[in-house]
Amino acid sequence: MISAITNRGELNFMIFEEMLRNATFIELTKRFLKQLTREIY
């Protein structure tokens, strides 16, 4: 499991069975980016 807490207190997480690899981390990052409500500078 990997998780992160936003500065607004929201919890984001992902549960996976294999080892954490680059592809898994990239997928998690894509999921985080989909949840954004404003632009990143």
pLDDT at residue 28, as a whole number: 85
The SS3 assignment for 23 reads: helix
Q: How many Cα atoms sit within 13 Å of 13 on the Cβ side?
A: 8
At 13-33, the pLDDT tens digits run 889 888 889 998 898 888 888
C-alpha angle with apex 32: 28 to 30, nearest 5 degrees? 55
Are 11 and 3 in contact, with CB atoms under 8 Å apart?
A: yes
Domain boundaries, the chain: 2-34
- List the beta bridge partners of residue 3: 13
Residue 28 CB contacts under 8 Å (≥ 6 apart), including other chains: 2, 14
pTM of the model: 0.61
